Amino acid sequence: MFRTLYGKLASVLMTVFIAISAIMMLASQKMLEAQRLFELATELIIGTVVFSLIAALIVFRFLTIRLRVLSESIEAFRASGFTTPVPLALPGNLDDEIYRLSAAFQEMSERIAIQLSQLEQVDRQRRELLANVSHDLRTPLASMQGYLETMLIRADELTPEERNRYLQIAVKHCERLARLVKDVFELTKLEAHEVTPQIETFPVGELAQDVVQKFALKAQKRQLTLVTKCEPDCPPVRADIGMIEQVLENLIENAMRYTSAGGEIGVEVRPAGARVELRVRDTGQGIQGDELHNIFDRYYRVDRAEFGSTGNAGLGLAITRRIVELHGGDIQVESTPGLGTTFIVDLAVA
Ligand SMILES: Nc1ncnc2c1ncn2[C@@H]1O[C@H](COP(=O)(O)OP(=O)(O)O)[C@@H](O)[C@H]1O
Ligand SMILES: [Mg+2]
C-alpha cells in the first residue's frame, strides 16, 4: 500500500490527523484544567495550521523533486535532438508510479534514439548510393555517346571495319550500363526487404555444376581451369534456387576476374554438420588482410579505378552477402595475397 503515491499521501495525511487529534486531546485536557479557553483555542488553531502546512510542503516536495528530475531528463533528451537518451538518476529508488513512469520514459527514449540513428544511416546510405550510381553511370554513357556521335559526324569517312568496331564498343558500354542498373536495382530491392526468397528443396551440387558449365567457355578463353567437386552424400538445401545461382555466379565471376591465365578455380559443395558449405576458391591475386572486411561493402573495390575497364561497380559481393543473410546463412572469406582466395557460403539443409 505504501508503494503507490496514493498510499504515501494517505499515510502522511493519516499521521497528520493523528498528530492533530493528539494535540487536540491534550489541549482539551488542559482546557478543563486551566479554563484558559480562548488562549488555548488560538494556540491550537495556529499549531494545527502550521503543522499541516509543514506536512503538506514535505509531501509536495517529495513528489515534485522526482517529477522535476524526470522533466529535466525529457527536456535534455529533446535538446539533444532525440539522439542521446539521458540516464535518469532519481533520488530514492522507490517502486512507485513516478519511478515506473521514469523507467518507461527511459526505455522509450532509448528506442527512439536507436530508431532515429537507424533512419539516419539508411538515409546516408541512400544518398551515397545515388551519388555512386550517378558517377558510375556517367562513364559508360559518355563513352557510348562519344562513339555514336563520331559515327554520325564522320559517317562518310569511316570504313566498314571502323564502323563495326565503334558499334561494338558502344554495345559493350551499353552492356555495362545494363549490368550496373540491374545490380543497383537488385541491391536496392534486397536492402528495402522487398524480396522474399522462394524457398524450395534442391540438390545444390547439381546447381553448382550447371552454373560452372555456363562459365566453361569463358574460362577456356582465359586459360583458366574450372573444377567442380561435389560430395556424393551431400544433403539437399532449402533455399531460393535463383538467388543461390546468382551467389555462385557472382563468386565465380570474381574468381575468374582476379585470377590470371593458367590459374585454377574450384567450386566445392560439401556437408558441414547441419549445414551445406559452398566453396569458391581461386589461385588468383588474393586480397590484402586490411581489405578483407571491406569487400562486402557496397561499392567497395580494392582498385576503384577498375570500374572503367570492367564495368563492375563493386556491388556483386554486397548483393551476395544480402542474399546469403536472407537465407539465414553466412559468408566468409579467406585469402592469401599472391596465392588465392576462398569464399565459403553455408546454407541450411532441408
Ligand atoms: N576472388 C577474388 N580475388 C581477389 N579479389 C577479389 C575477389 N573477389 C572480390 N575481390 C575484391 O573485392 C572487391 C569487391 O567485389 P565485388 O563486390 O564483386 O565488386 P566487383 O566485382 O564489381 O569489383 C573487388 O573489387 C575485388 O577487389
Ligand atoms: Mg563482382
* Atom 7 (ligand 1) nearest CA: 254
Q: Cα–Cα distance between 104 and 97 in angstroms, integer?
A: 10
Read off φ and ψ for residue 90, nearest 5 degrees. Answer: -80, 135
So what's the pLDDT on residue 68?
86
In this structure, what DSSP letter does residue 349 have?
B
Count Cβ atoms below 10 Å from residue 64 Cβ, excluding itself.
12
Pairing state between β 225-230 and 264-272 = parallel
Q: What pLDDT is stored for residue 131 in this prediction?
A: 85
CA dist list (Å): 164 to 147, 159, 308, 310? 11, 9, 22, 21
| The ligand 1 atom nearest the CA atom of 319 | 17
pLDDT digits (tens), the chain, 350 positions? 556 666 777 787 788 778 878 887 887 777 777 666 777 778 878 888 888 888 888 878 877 888 888 888 889 999 998 888 877 766 666 677 888 888 888 899 999 999 999 999 888 878 887 888 888 888 889 999 999 999 999 988 989 999 999 999 999 999 988 988 899 899 889 988 889 999 999 999 999 999 999 999 999 999 999 999 998 888 999 999 999 999 999 999 999 999 999 999 999 999 998 899 999 999 999 999 998 988 998 777 777 565 555 667 788 999 999 999 999 999 999 999 999 999 999 998 88
* H helix intervals, 2-96: 5-34, 37-79
Domains defined along the chain, listed by start: 5-113 (no CATH), 130-191 (1.10.287.130), 199-348 (3.30.565.10)
- The three cell numbers locating residue 96: 512507485
Query: Would you state the pLDDT for residue 311?
Result: 60
Which residue minimizes the CA distance to atom 19 of ligand 1? Answer: 314
Tell me which residues have their CB closer than 6 angstroms to ligand 1. 250, 254-255, 258, 282, 284-287, 295, 300-302, 312-318, 341
Nearest CA among 265, 280, 263 for reference residue 324 = 280
Which residue lies with its CA nearest to atom 12 of ligand 1? 295
Residues whose CB falls within 8 Å of the CB of residue 77, separated by 6 or more in sequence, listed in order: 84, 85, 86, 109
Ligand 1: residue of 291, 295, 331, 334 to mutate (most ligand atoms within 8 A of CB) is: 295
Tell me, what's the pLDDT at 4?
67
Per DSSP (E only), the strands in the chain are 199-202, 225-230, 237-240, 264-272, 275-282, 330-336, 340-348
State how far the Cα of 137 lies from the Cα of 131, in Å rounded to an integer.
10
What was the pLDDT predicted at 97? 83
* 98 grid coordinates: 513516478
Give distance in angstroms: CA of 177 to centre of ligand 2: 15
Predicted local distance difference test score (pLDDT) of residue 83 = 87
Most informative mutation of 254, 260, 292, 336 for ligand 1 (most atoms within 8 A of CB): 254
281 DSSP β-pair partners: 266, 342
Closest approach atom of ligand 1 to CA 315: 17
Distance 317 CA to ligand 1 centre (A): 7
Length of the chain as a residue count = 350
- Decide: 69 and 105 in contact? Cβ < 8 Å: no
- CA 251, chain centre distance (Å): 24
pLDDT at 2: 59
pLDDT for 309 equals: 56
